[in-house]
Amino acid sequence: TVGKPITCKAAVCWGAGQPLKIEEVEVAPPSVHEVRIKILYTGICHTDEYTRSGKDPEGLFPVILGHEGGGVVESVGEGVTSVSVGDHVVPLYTAECRECKFCKSGKTNLCGKVRSTQGQGLMPDSTSRFTCKGQPVHHFMGTSTFSQYTVVADVSVVAVNKSAPLEKVCLLGCGITTAWGAVVKQQGIKGSNVAVFGCGAIGLGVISTSSVVGASRIIAVDTNPSKESWAKKMGATDFVNPTTLPEGKRIQDYLVEITDGGLDFTFDATGNVHVMRAALEACHKGWGVSTVIGVAAAGQEISTRPFQLVTGRTWRGSAFGGVKGRTELPGLVEDYLQGTLKIDEYVTHHRKFAEINEGFHDMHAGDCIRCVVDM
């Protein structure tokens, strides 16, 4: 049977730099291999703000942002077998088709199936399911969770245990999973020393996961002194505020000094290219590995002396923590239910849907780790 369009509320961003506006939108029924989801909760991530601000070179407007959602399957299109009506689901901005060159390589979680249309703000058939005031509205990251109903590709959604609260496991849609994967997919963290630059949700998740897998020393780095207690609560053994170092002392030189030659592993969770450089240069000669997680603004480039690499440091990065969402998210939900994966701790702010712009402001305040919006 062919479904009907649904009229509901969505937060539309009409142009770069504009606040979101709650509008009535029409959400078309799911087409072949698509799933329509009633979104119940969504987190707000810096990437939503990055695209809203106009800094994202892939940004398109008007758009419905949001990529950290939790909801219930309302209807499915033809050919959908992986989820059913009523399933509790998390949309995935990194799809997993299990058929493309990337998925079959066994080397990456990046899936090629829908990425190009996703980047154009469209469904795989190159059209949008959202209409507002008679005008098509772009999708975002294949998820658009800032809408009470959204449509996603069936390769871009995973069903999870219904006993898990969606207001918490929605955060597995981005932040928590990204941080978890960046650590567990990296061999050798156990018994090693680690430095984490930036103590937002991602940095704290890296600290927490490093602690769980048994890193021997975890140095948290942040310019905000109030992040020290957060970092220690998540398992950091040391906290360094680079702004309090003696004048002219670079953070990388300081870290190399206090670690007898540098870190085994460092992580950038800031998106600042100067911090990325410091994170690489804080690595131990011969074997240190630095992972870039943060998203840098358009036009930004990283640099260092090639000698840093010649002398055995490795610069790498991962997206969505290298996690294959459909295969791995159900297990992360079980870990959460069993108490071995922290999620509740990250939720510092709650907002009603009507207050979503305030949620964006919350994010800029130093006391916010994650704000969850009740749709």
Position among 1, 2, 4, 57 found at the interface with ligand AHE (CB under 6 A)? 57
Shorter beta-carbon distance to ligand AHE: residue 239 or 320: 320
First-to-final CA distance of the chain: 28
Q: Are 100 and 119 in contact (CB under 8 A)?
A: no
Clarify whether 115 is annotated catalytic.
yes
Q: Is 149 in the site for ligand AHE (CB under 6 A)?
A: no
**Minimum distance from residue 246 beta carbon to ligand AHE (Å):** 35
Annotated active-site residue 36? The verdict is: no
Minimum distance from CB of 68 to Zn ion (Å)? 6
- Characterize the bridge pairing of strands 289-292 and 265-268: parallel
Query: Would you count residue 174 as binding ligand AHE (CB under 6 A)?
Result: yes
Instruction: Find which of Zn ion, ligand AHE, none residue 220 binds, CB within 5 to 8 Å per kind.
Output: none
- The question of whether 284 is a catalytic residue gets the answer no
Q: Is 3 exposed, middle or buried (0-12, 13-18, 19+ CB in 10 A)?
A: middle
CA–CA distance, 225 with 240 (Å, rounded to integer):
9
State which residue, 110 or 263, has the beta carbon closest to ligand AHE. 110
Q: Segment 225-264, which members bind ligand AHE (CB under 6 A)? A: none
Contacts of 326 (CB under 8 A, 6+ apart): 82, 92, 96, 98, 155, 157, 158
Candidate residues 45, 158, 234, 240; the one interacting with ligand AHE per rule CB under 6 A = 45
Binding mask 94-133 for ligand AHE (x = CB under 6 A): ----------------x----x------------------
| Site size toward ligand AHE, by CB under 6 A | 12
284 vs 370 by CB, closer to ligand AHE: 370
Stretch that binds ligand AHE, among 50-58, 211-219, 329-337, 353-361 (CB under 6 A): 50-58
CB of residue 174 to ligand AHE, shortest distance in Å: 5
Q: Which two tokens mark 190?
A: 């156990």
Annotation marks residue 24 as catalytic: no
371 is annotated as an active-site residue: no
Identified catalytic residue from 45, 170, 368, 371: 45
d(CA 336, CA 56): 32
* C-alpha–C-alpha distance, residues 110 and 132, integer Å: 32
Annotation says 96 is catalytic: no
Long-range CB contacts (< 8 A, 24+ apart) of 224-229? 224/199, 224/366, 226/366, 226/367, 227/199, 227/366
Contact 316, 289 (CB under 8 A): yes
Q: Does residue 132 have an active-site annotation?
A: no
Which CB sits closer to Zn ion, 47 or 192? 47
- Determine which one of 52, 129, 277, 370 is catalytic: 370
Q: Is 47 in the site for ligand AHE (CB under 6 A)?
A: yes
**Nearest alpha-carbon partner for 200 in 324, 101, 346, 300:** 346
Site residues for ligand AHE, window 285-324 (CB under 6 A)? Answer: 295, 298, 319-320
Q: Give the Cα separation of 141 and 52 in Å (integer).
A: 13
Rounded Cα distance between 109 and 86, Å, is 27
Contact (Cβ atoms closer than 8 angstroms) between residue 279 and residue 197: yes
3-state secondary structure of 340: coil
Q: Is residue 351 among the annotated active site residues?
A: no
Catalytic residue list: 45-47, 67-68, 97, 100, 103, 111, 115, 174, 370
Residue ranges in contact with ligand AHE by CB under 6 A:
45, 47, 56-58, 110, 115, 174, 295, 298, 319-320
